[in-house]
Homo-oligomer: A and B are copies of this chain.
């Protein structure tokens, strides 16, 4: 069994790790931390886990966590993960960081997250960007920088076509369930504000665009997120504008089909589907469903992807990465159909 720790086990990311790891056939959870709930049984705070664990939340030091675990998931806010990583790695424990702390270069990170990065060795840690389908080298990583939820849905949607240099520009217009904003009540998560509404936010300034640009260097990338009145899921509408002369319309559709099929061949969690994706079909799962349509009246292709923001967009992909790091099938503990309806 893999001995696993979760630092930050009371937020939505931590809870989703718990939901999935408690059922994982090759994992034993050794420690789950929460400062707020230290000493309380996990099931007292989270009745949906009743009968699945007897663990208590702990608040122990990093060294001890390292001793008790083969791998640690960091489900803490941006800016906090960097306080744990050096010591964990030093102790030989592998780390999967769900925060943004190791996703970008130091310069990019400090510019975009507007804070200093405390880890002096940051850029020598060889963190692998854990978008599993694009980075198989995750299997050999000791530190994984797990992607943001929006970048996961966005990059998977367009990587095959953008990487083939057919595209000038991509506009990602993304729509997310509100669970991405976390477990703390806020203005946007206040039911009367979100119900019967859709809320664009950080319309031209959302930080996740940096990950998209890093992974999609061959096109101009724009990004605008919205929250929708839904709990889970991100539907990304990607509008792509093709480089002139790069294509013939009559063949574009079949060419794209081939491109996507080859690109995602053998990838268990990417499904190329024949109808427009739905958040229900991926609810609770690690799948990314993808569909595209060609605009006959213009030089535009629209690609639509659907993921569960807490699974493929977070904790599920983190476990997928853990599976590969420990030589397991990538789908171990993650193979479930969507909760439909």
Listed in ascending order, the chain A residues whose CB lies under 8 Å from chain B are 12, 15, 19, 22-23, 44, 46-52, 169, 171, 173, 175, 177-179, 183, 185-187, 189-201, 203-205, 209, 220, 222, 224, 226, 228-233, 235, 237, 239, 241, 268, 271, 273-284, 289, 293-298, 300, 302, 304, 310, 335-341
Indicate if the CB atoms of B283 and A196 lie closer than 8 Å.
Answer: yes
Chain copies in the assembled complex: 4
CA distance A167 to B270 in the complex (A): 37
Q: With contacts A230-B229, A239-B173, A296-B204 known, is A19 near B337, CB below 8 A?
A: yes
Indicate if the CB atoms of B237 and A200 lie closer than 8 Å.
Answer: yes
Q: Which of A23, A50, A209 has the most CB of B within 10 A?
A: A50
Chain B residues with CB below 8 A from A289, complex form: 47
Rounded to whole Å, the gap between the CB of A170 and the closest CB of chain B is 11
Chain B residues with CB below 8 A from A200, complex form: 235, 237, 276, 304
User: Which of B231, B294, B336 is in CB contact (< 8 Å) with A191?
Assistant: B231
Rounded to whole Å, the gap between the CB of A249 and the closest CB of chain B is 12
Give 17 new A-B contacts, CB below 8 A, not counting A48-B282, A195-B195: A19-B337, A46-B340, A47-B274, A47-B277, A47-B289, A48-B278, A48-B340, A50-B273, A175-B226, A185-B185, A191-B229, A195-B230, A196-B283, A198-B228, A201-B276, A204-B300, A228-B229
Chain B residues with CB below 8 A from A278, complex form: 47-48, 193, 197, 199
Q: With contacts A239-B171, A295-B222 known, is A196 near B51, CB below 8 A?
A: no
Indicate if the CB atoms of A340 and B19 lie closer than 8 Å.
Answer: yes
A to B CB contacts below 8 Å, 18 in the list:
A47-B274, A47-B277, A47-B281, A48-B280, A173-B173, A173-B237, A183-B341, A190-B191, A191-B194, A196-B230, A196-B283, A197-B279, A200-B276, A203-B237, A204-B294, A204-B302, A226-B237, A231-B341
CA distance A13 to B336 in the complex (A): 18
CA distance A198 to B220 in the complex (A): 26
Chain B residues with CB below 8 A from A335, complex form: 23
Chain B residues with CB below 8 A from A283, complex form: 196, 339
CA distance A105 to B242 in the complex (A): 30
CA distance A274 to B40 in the complex (A): 14
Indicate if the CB atoms of A192 and B204 lie closer than 8 Å.
Answer: no
Indicate if the CB atoms of B203 and A276 lie closer than 8 Å.
Answer: yes
**A278 nearest in chain B by CB position:** B197
**A239 nearest in chain B by CB position:** B171
Q: Which of A192, A203, A237, A298 has the most CB of B within 10 A?
A: A192
Indicate if the CB atoms of B49 and A337 lie closer than 8 Å.
Answer: yes
CA distance A50 to B271 in the complex (A): 8
Chain B residues with CB below 8 A from A284, complex form: 284, 339
Chain B residues with CB below 8 A from A196, complex form: 177, 195-196, 230-233, 279-280, 283
Indicate if the CB atoms of A198 and B298 lie closer than 8 Å.
Answer: no
* Nearest 4 CB-CB pairings of A with B: A192-B341, A185-B185, A48-B281, A204-B295
**A273 nearest in chain B by CB position:** B47
CA distance A224 to B297 in the complex (A): 13
Indicate if the CB atoms of A239 and B239 lie closer than 8 Å.
Answer: yes
Chain B residues with CB below 8 A from A293, complex form: 203-204
Q: With contacts A47-B281, A197-B279, A222-B298 known, is A185 near B190, CB below 8 A?
A: yes
